[in-house]
Amino acid sequence: MAISSDKIPANGAGISTTGVNGHFNNVQPDGRVSEENHGQIPETNGSSDSTVKSGLQDIILIDELPRETWSMGAAIRPNGDMLLPRLNGPELFSTQHPKTHSNRSPSSEPKLIHSFPDATSVFNICRLKNTGREEYAVLTAIVDLETPEVYNTAVWRVVPSTGDATEEIKPEVTKIADIPEAQLCIGMTSASDRILLVADSGAGCIYRVDVETGTLSIFHGDESMRPATKKDALGISRIRILGNYLFYTNTSRGTFCRLPVRWTEDGQDLEPAGACETVARGLANADGMVITRDGAAAYIDSYISGTLWKVEIDFETGSGVVHTLRERIPDPTGMELVYAEQDQEPTLFVVCCGCLGQEWRDRVGAKWLDMLHVDRSIKVTVEIFITYEPNPDYILGECEN
């Protein structure tokens, strides 16, 4: 599947889609279509709260990986390449996007960076802070879909080559640490050049990993991080640090929370500094999450319903107001916010799994649905618009999840 981009102006008016060659259809802030659109505006994939400004320059949907691939996150490199982990395989891919890469290759095919040993899944990736060079932490595990059970969870350090997605990429890969007690780790964030935090969705806790020594400890555990019931598999999902708070989503509880933290050792380490606080509720199957750098808003999505929420945050009180920005986005998971120097508002990149093939879903997907306790009788229809060259035509495709 090629990259597709859903571009939404900051005021929320108008939608346009780019296709395999990355030619954007420009929609003006007043909703008028530019000449290169050929007079066509695809319909939206769902409803939104038109009274609330998105606070975003653009929303870009990333579905570069093959149709049968499930990705839970992404990292955008300084050179504009995107690193995409594969959940249903041991691979890490690199690709380009016209929004981040001005000299993008004509080919949009993803390139394999690395296949991790003793792993069947690559759960997530994040940039390591202040290391003096470009480095990433990558979270892997072995997933037994027959059980279902997750084991051999590990964190790796990946240092990409200086090439781009058009060249052969041979990264430097070393293991940081094993997490033998982990149940189902999904979220991960770099706190400093020394400390990496990893969220265990099954155990309802956060691990602290020293990236230099590999030392592992429990950073914090709380009822608000655990799954809602014993029948639920997913508790805490994504984690982000901003100022003196660690923010996190809980998938089965549908909550967005924060934990006060205290920085120690001249900002090189941190520790919990208070009780967990619930910022917002009603976010069913909350998964991906990002926060604006001023802390005024968070964006959260649901893989199950395809919903994208904006949570307006009162940073002082910790209270939040939830607004629905979009619905029926095709299988959104991880998200990244990117600020350009000329943009006061950021661009939101949303990783989309796309419609998993029927054969893959019948063979493997049912196991994940059982693991995630999703009712297969609930069917959601989504619409995907793809532009082809040289005669752009919008082709409507449907799939059921």
So what's the pLDDT on residue 145? 66
pLDDT at 101: 62
294-335 residue pLDDT tens: 999 999 999 889 999 999 999 999 999 999 999 988 889 999
Q: How confident is the model at residue 280 (pLDDT cuts 50, 70, 90)?
A: very high
Residue 234 has pLDDT above 90, yes or no: yes
Q: Does the pLDDT at position 390 exceed 80? A: no
Quote the pLDDT of residue 49: 66
Give 250-270 pLDDT, tens digit per residue. 999 999 999 999 999 999 999
Separation of alpha carbons 58 and 9, rounded Å: 6
pLDDT band per the 50, 70, 90 thresholds, residue 342: low
Among the listed ranges 53-57, 95-99, 109-113, 344-348, which one has the minimum average pLDDT value?
A: 95-99
Q: What is the pLDDT of residue 357?
A: 41
Number of domains making up the chain = 1
**pLDDT tens digit sequence for 175-233:** 999 999 999 999 999 999 999 999 999 999 999 999 999 999 999 999 999 999 988 98
Residue 245: per-residue pLDDT: 98
Measured CA to CA, the distance from residue 368 to residue 56 in angstroms comes to: 33
Per-residue model confidence (pLDDT) at position 384: 36
Domain CATH number, residue 210:
2.120.10.30
- Predicted pLDDT of residue 309: 98
Token pair for residue 163? 């090439």
Cα(394)–Cα(217) distance, integer angstroms: 52
* pTM of the complete model: 0.78
Please report which helix (H) or strand (E) contains residue 367, including its range: helix 366-372
The pLDDT, as a whole number, for residue 233 is 87
pLDDT band, residue 67 (cuts 50/70/90): low
Identity (one letter) of the amino acid at 164?
A: D
Q: Which comes out higher in pLDDT, residue 192 or 354?
A: 192
Instruction: Give the per-residue pLDDT at 341.
Output: 74
Query: What is the structure's pLDDT at 282?
Result: 97
Query: What digits encode the pLDDT tens for the residues 132-180?
Result: 899 999 999 998 867 778 999 999 999 998 655 455 568 999 999 999 9
Map residue 330 onto helix, strand or coil.
coil
Residue 395, burial from CB neighbour count under 10 angstroms (0-12, 13-18, 19+): exposed
pLDDT of residue 103: 61
For range 62-72, the mean pLDDT: 73
Is a pLDDT exceeding 60 seen at residue 26?
A: no
For residues 336 and 21, the model is more confident at: 336
**pLDDT of the residue at 208:** 98
CA 339/CA 293 separation, integer angstroms: 9
pLDDT of residue 15: 22
Q: Looking at residue 87, what is its pLDDT?
A: 87
Q: What pLDDT shows up at residue 79?
A: 84
* DSSP output for 56-94: -SEEEEE--S-TT------EE-TTS-EEEE-TTSSEEEE
Q: Is the pLDDT of residue 376 over 50?
A: no
Share of the chain above pLDDT 90, in %: 53
What is the rounded average pLDDT for all residues in the chain? 77
Helix (H, G, I), strand (E, B) or coil at 279: strand
Structure tokens belonging to residue 9: 């102006």
For the purposes of burial, counting CB atoms within 10 Å of the CB of 17, is it exposed (0-12), middle (13-18) or buried (19 or more)? buried
Sign of CA dihedral 51, 340, 297, 134: positive
Higher-confidence position of 219 and 383: 219
Whole domain around residue 274: which residue ranges?
5-400
How far, in Å, CA of 18 to CA of 63, rounded? 12
- pLDDT at residue 348, rounded to an integer: 95
Q: Whose structure tokens read 């099954």? A: 202
